[in-house]
Structure 1
Amino acid sequence: MKAMLTSDIRPSRRRGRLSLPRLVLVLGIAAAGVTMIKRSFDSQPASARSATWFAPYADVTLTPYLAFGDTRLNPADTVVLGFVVADHTSPCTPSWGGYYTPQEAATGADLDRRLATLRRRGGQAVVSFGGVANTELAVACTDEAALTKAYVSVLQRYEATTVDLDLEGAALSDVSARTRRAAAIAKAQASFPNGLDVWLTLPVATTGLTADGVATVDAFLAAGVHVTGINVMTMDFGTLTPEMNVADAAIEALSSASAQVHDSFSAAGIDLDTSALWAHMGATVMIGRNDVRTEVFNLDDANELLAFAHLHGLGRISLWSINRDAPCGPEVDSGVAQNGCSGVEQTLGAFTQLFAADIASIDAEFDSDSDSDNPQTSMARTWASSSRTGLVLDDPATAPYPIWNPATGYKGNDKVVWHGNVYQTAWWTQAVQPDAPKANPWDSPWKLVGPVLPTDTAPTTTTIPFGVYPQWNASTAYPAGSRVLNHGAAFLAKWYVIGQEPGAPAANPWDTGWQAVTPTADEIAGITAAVTTTTAVTTAGVTTTAVTTTTAVTSPTAVTSTPSN
């Protein structure tokens, strides 16, 4: 999937509908497609139908970081996290987008906290390896054992039961990497006692998979991988006729690819009937403006694809990406594909809401008339039946950020702890409680990042030793530039100050005459360098005593501060 520019969003609300002419078009294409089911969806017995699984992608490293666990922004219970690639300096080390190792992402991208929010409502994450950018792990890591270890370590780290392999460009065409990847995934899959679902996400044209795509499916089957499904990227076709919209192209591409998948499985000795074949197929759409400027996937296209999915029991629908599921602001060129908005008229989260609500309603049908249990509806029931048991009393000893204070003003991107959760501001705010109910998510300056984790601790503060700077005194006048200590922290007077306590809550930065100064590591190290001198005391030319004196040497710029948000 592609990476583009980021833009701001301003939401409203609207939902598209499938017109009768489009429905007729879908049914017409379906009748002509390869191995398609010709009966209507409702006429099929429950045993012959397969629930469609909806799992949108989230760009993990895109800033501002997406709160994909917040139901107000993302109602889907399963999220595909993209993308794990090879570290730039260590080819067998997995990395999120080349920026963070999984351990570094826990804090650097607040990923563990965002995942905890998703899991708290009964959701789960799928890890996607690859993508269009950076170097794919199997291409960089030529040691099969190390590659297997890398896959397993990431999947276990995130408790994932499904792996998604997004293979594009060099990663798809590299034959050695293809063989190595398939063998490593086969070993990784065998190491999961409760099973590991494997989805291959591959580029597609209206004529089907590329030759490298078919070869990839064949390689995985030959390696003994139990392939759960083939997810085709129905986007950026570049060959659409004026009469064909993106949904039409997606349906034609799915039909063509399904025939190829059937042949690959058959060659591997696996016979798929029509229902099983479609259950092994998935489609990922690029919502809104595609990289090909003339291709736009709108809400009507989404409804058209949903009708096709329900008719045939399509195994999976995904979208790229939740980060883009928003309208573009007036300052953004909506004619060019963006990272943070779709480029089409829509409300915030409209595509995700449409797919999640529509697929959940169909899944509920399956749950009511079939003995099989669908994980997505099961998670939805868990989420719907949960209730708030009471407010959490925040403990400063374990709070990773300052506890929210109504008297303090918070600028954009500040983080606080409130009632056991971490919140981040979208703009300046004061006295607005982070968890106060709002009709719409965009009405609140606060966004939920995730819960305070069991491993969280209070941020460490560096306390400047007594005597380095004078202790603040309420009756003393301090001219601009004065430095004082208050509760172990150092402050600089911005102007003439008297009677105002440094560090006291202030509604605005300009309301206080004191500024906490953030030191560099070198400045902190130079605060109290101990200097020992020995003085010889001589009487009548004879040394009789040696006196050792320790002096505190201070840097005039060295100060102490509590870590900022």
Structure 2
Amino acid sequence: MARPGSRFAGRRLSPARLALSVVGVLAVGGALVGASMLPAMQAGVPGDASAGQWFASYYDVTLETGGQLARSPLGTSTGGAVLAFVVAQADDVCTPTWGKAYSLDDAAKTFELDRRVERMRREGEPLAASFGGSANTELAGACTTVPELTAAYRTVMDRYTLDVMDVDIEGDMLANVAATERRAQAVASLQNERRMNGGSLDVWLTLPVAPSGLTPAGLAQVESMLSAGVTLAGVNLMTMDYGTDGTIAMSSLSIDALQSTAVQIQDLWRAHGLALPDGGVWSLIGATPMIGVNDVKGEVFTLDDAAALNAFAVEKGVARLSMWSLTRDQTCGSNYPTLHIVSTACSGIEQAGVSFATVLAEGFTGTPSARPVTVSDGDVIEDDPATSPYPVWSSQTYYSEGVTVVWHGSVYVSKWWNEDGSVPDDPRIDTAGSAWTYIGPVLPGDVPFALPQLAPGTYPEWSSTALYDQGDRVMLDGSGYEARWWSQGKSPARSVLDHDYSPWKLITGP
């Protein structure tokens, strides 16, 4: 069983998938049997390297809720990143959320997702959104009509100005026939809508795989999309969690899975009378390993596996490589001794300073849509305390670590306590030396910054002459404050931006 909160929490390998496993399967009592039971792999499909190949890590936007996530990079390659996962608010509520933990508005407020996405768009870095995953309810399961589901998908894609959609179908959703049909029709509807409006929507279908290829349920997902008229950009294989004992290299299992699936996809396209792309069937194939320790005990995807998978993908012209996940691409710290338990924050293996992203992305220089990425400065919104989403920076104010400000139409977060330093956008200072980290531009829809207000008379008004002890509560300009230690004549207003040395703290809740 996966560690709660991990990428594959609660995931189980289906009997069908186990039956397709390289080390074999099926046998008495459903237990794994020896590799001698291995079904024969289908013949390989030739291919050639392609300039359009792209790499992008999956990025779980729900892992952090504070400054760390706000300061994290999203793009690690020319392919950018795949934001994961959009799911339904509840089993019967057709409202898109990020991992069920955050509404789209919550994500904008809590970790600046809208702002960071807009920054990447303006800097020409591509992004895709992934719907589904192994946990929670995919939108097609919660939305009961095609128009309702189409609207939910549209809400996400339009909000973040995205033209690449990744649909990750796993677990029970693979066998949900009604949801499968709704999903295919809704995706087709949205894709046609984009085309009619002069736009584009590239759709990737992400599915579990065995070394002998897609399961019947996975093939049914591809069949459903094609039958509904969806133009698939490709099928992305989750090359992970095969159910083996770890004696066979993960890269070997993954390459077998790619070879077998290529034959299946080639046959499906022919059956539907569809021409293969110029690069052949490999231009319709992607692979996503789970880096480091996998959820199946004993299965470890190493840096050598990454190099082997990359070499195969480059040679064949595999359209896409991804990985789960960006936040796991580092060696675990010494305070995390249980390396056999999958962590969302590290790979579980010693990487010696080498990143999986760098190895997997070697030779992959394209973008997800293969369309030119437009770099745009966008509109710079004038700094105005009355309209800015955060206080406007001032050289005469103290700022604690994690405090957010606006300067020259951009939003910055402080890296350490500072006062009377260089302006946040000082071009003479490199990123490491600056006290500020750029998050993204001020957006037209930003809500003006305002302190939480309390009902008049909730607490006594603050007085510059009164003596206050720890725990005392006061009000100033309608906001509440609580004393952290003894003070007199120290205005509570300073605590809004200086959390370290002010004797007061802002009351933000009941």
TM-score tier, shorter chain, comes to 0.7 to 0.9
How far does residue 83 in structure 1 lie from its aligned partner after superposition?
Answer: 1.2
| Structure 2 counterparts to residues 11-160 of structure 1, below 5 A | 33-37=43-47, 41=49, 49=50, 51-64=52-65, 74-88=76-90, 90-160=92-162
How far does residue 87 in structure 1 lie from its aligned partner after superposition?
Answer: 1.8
Matched position secondary structure for 2:194? coil
Q: Does 1:478 align with 2:480?
A: no
Paired residue type of 1:179: E
Paired residue type of 2:463: W
- From the superposition, tell whether residues 319 and 486 of structure 1 become closer, same or farther in structure 2 (CA, over 3 Å): same
Q: What is the root-mean-square deviation in Å for CA atoms of aligned residues?
A: 3.8
1:150-178: CA deviations, max 9, x gaps? 22232222222121110001111122222
- From the superposition, tell whether residues 519 and 115 of structure 1 become closer, same or farther in structure 2 (CA, over 3 Å): closer
- Equivalent-residue separation in structure 2 for 1:408 and 1:75 (angstroms): 36
Of 484-493 and 202-211, the range deviating more from structure 2: 484-493
User: Is the CA contact 2:164–2:369 (under 8 Å) kept in the aligned structure 1?
Assistant: no
- Equivalent-residue separation in structure 1 for 2:235 and 2:473 (angstroms): 64
Match for residue 384 of structure 2? 395
- From the superposition, tell whether residues 425 and 62 of structure 1 become closer, same or farther in structure 2 (CA, over 3 Å): farther
How many equivalent pairs are there?
464
User: Is the CA contact 1:70–1:117 (under 8 Å) kept in the aligned structure 2?
Assistant: no
1:396-434: CA deviations, max 9, x gaps? 2333233456652524x44333454334456x5334766
User: Is the CA contact 1:74–1:349 (under 8 Å) kept in the aligned structure 2?
Assistant: no
How far does residue 451 in structure 1 lie from its aligned partner after superposition?
Answer: 2.4
Paired residue type of 1:253: A
Detail structure 1 runs of 4+ shifted over 6 Å in the superposition.
386-389, 436-441, 463-468, 505-508
Paired residue type of 2:411: V
Give unmatched runs, 5+ long, in structure 2.
7-41
- Equivalent-residue separation in structure 2 for 1:256 and 1:234 (angstroms): 12
How far does residue 199 in structure 1 lie from its aligned partner after superposition?
Answer: 1.0
How far does residue 129 in structure 1 lie from its aligned partner after superposition?
Answer: 1.2
Paired residue type of 1:78: G
Match for residue 10 of structure 1? none
Match for residue 450 of structure 1? 440
Give unmatched runs, 5+ long, in structure 1.
7-31, 42-48, 364-372, 521-565
1:458-484: CA deviations, max 9, x gaps? 3223387699845634xx352437666
User: Is the CA contact 2:332–2:347 (under 8 Å) kept in the aligned structure 1?
Assistant: yes
How far does residue 36 in structure 1 lie from its aligned partner after superposition?
Answer: 1.8
| Structure 2 counterparts to residues 325-344 of structure 1, below 5 A | 325-332=329-336, 333-344=338-349
How far does residue 340 in structure 1 lie from its aligned partner after superposition?
Answer: 1.5
How far does residue 232 in structure 1 lie from its aligned partner after superposition?
Answer: 0.5
Among 417, 421, 444, the alignment partner of 1:429 is 417
Matched position secondary structure for 1:346? coil
- Equivalent-residue separation in structure 1 for 2:354 and 2:409 (angstroms): 26
How far does residue 295 in structure 1 lie from its aligned partner after superposition?
Answer: 1.9
- Equivalent-residue separation in structure 2 for 1:4 and 1:447 (angstroms): 32
- From the superposition, tell whether residues 395 and 273 of structure 1 become closer, same or farther in structure 2 (CA, over 3 Å): closer
Paired residue type of 2:84: G
Paired residue type of 2:242: F
Among 404, 407, 430, the alignment partner of 1:415 is 404
- Equivalent-residue separation in structure 1 for 2:103 and 2:170 (angstroms): 22
Query: What TM-score results when the alignment is normalised by the length of structure 2?
Result: 0.78
Q: Does 1:257 align with 2:261?
A: yes
- From the superposition, tell whether residues 68 and 188 of structure 1 become closer, same or farther in structure 2 (CA, over 3 Å): farther
Match for residue 197 of structure 1? 202
User: Is the CA contact 1:86–1:93 (under 8 Å) kept in the aligned structure 2?
Assistant: yes
Match for residue 184 of structure 1? 186
- From the superposition, tell whether residues 454 and 70 of structure 1 become closer, same or farther in structure 2 (CA, over 3 Å): farther
- Equivalent-residue separation in structure 2 for 1:291 and 1:468 (angstroms): 53
Matched position secondary structure for 1:396? coil
User: Is the CA contact 1:126–1:160 (under 8 Å) kept in the aligned structure 2?
Assistant: yes
- Equivalent-residue separation in structure 2 for 1:56 and 1:146 (angstroms): 30
- From the superposition, tell whether residues 298 and 417 of structure 1 become closer, same or farther in structure 2 (CA, over 3 Å): farther
Match for residue 242 of structure 2? 237
Matched position secondary structure for 1:153? helix
Among 343, 357, 363, the alignment partner of 1:358 is 363
1:501-536: CA deviations, max 9, x gaps? 44347997564444444463xxxxxxxxxxxxxxxx
Matched position secondary structure for 1:159? coil
1:193-232: CA deviations, max 9, x gaps? 2332111101001111111011111121122211221111
How far does residue 128 in structure 1 lie from its aligned partner after superposition?
Answer: 1.3
How far does residue 440 in structure 1 lie from its aligned partner after superposition?
Answer: 7.6
- Equivalent-residue separation in structure 2 for 1:216 and 1:488 (angstroms): 56
1:349-371: CA deviations, max 9, x gaps? 822344446312xx5xxxxxxxx
Paired residue type of 1:88: A
Paired residue type of 1:125: L
Of 278-287 and 337-346, the range deviating more from structure 2: 337-346
Paired residue type of 1:429: W
- Equivalent-residue separation in structure 1 for 2:481 and 2:96 (angstroms): 42
How far does residue 294 in structure 1 lie from its aligned partner after superposition?
Answer: 1.8
- From the superposition, tell whether residues 438 and 314 of structure 1 become closer, same or farther in structure 2 (CA, over 3 Å): farther
- Equivalent-residue separation in structure 2 for 1:74 and 1:188 (angstroms): 29
| Structure 2 counterparts to residues 483-562 of structure 1, below 5 A | 489=479, 491-492=481-482, 496-504=486-494, 511-518=501-508, 520=510
User: Is the CA contact 1:478–1:493 (under 8 Å) kept in the aligned structure 2?
Assistant: no
- Equivalent-residue separation in structure 2 for 1:299 and 1:403 (angstroms): 45
Match for residue 18 of structure 2? none
- From the superposition, tell whether residues 336 and 493 of structure 1 become closer, same or farther in structure 2 (CA, over 3 Å): closer
- Equivalent-residue separation in structure 1 for 2:5 and 2:332 (angstroms): 11
1:277-314: CA deviations, max 9, x gaps? 01011111111221123222232222222211221111
Paired residue type of 1:56: S
Of 102-111 and 459-468, the range deviating more from structure 2: 459-468
- From the superposition, tell whether residues 261 and 240 of structure 1 become closer, same or farther in structure 2 (CA, over 3 Å): farther
- Equivalent-residue separation in structure 2 for 1:180 and 1:466 (angstroms): 55
User: Is the CA contact 1:423–1:450 (under 8 Å) kept in the aligned structure 2?
Assistant: yes
- From the superposition, tell whether residues 511 and 4 of structure 1 become closer, same or farther in structure 2 (CA, over 3 Å): same
How far does residue 348 in structure 1 lie from its aligned partner after superposition?
Answer: 7.2
Query: What TM-score results when the alignment is normalised by the length of structure 1?
Result: 0.71
How far does residue 241 in structure 1 lie from its aligned partner after superposition?
Answer: 6.1
- From the superposition, tell whether residues 192 and 459 of structure 1 become closer, same or farther in structure 2 (CA, over 3 Å): same
Paired residue type of 1:115: V
- Equivalent-residue separation in structure 2 for 1:388 and 1:128 (angstroms): 26
Identity %: 38
- Equivalent-residue separation in structure 1 for 2:182 and 2:458 (angstroms): 63
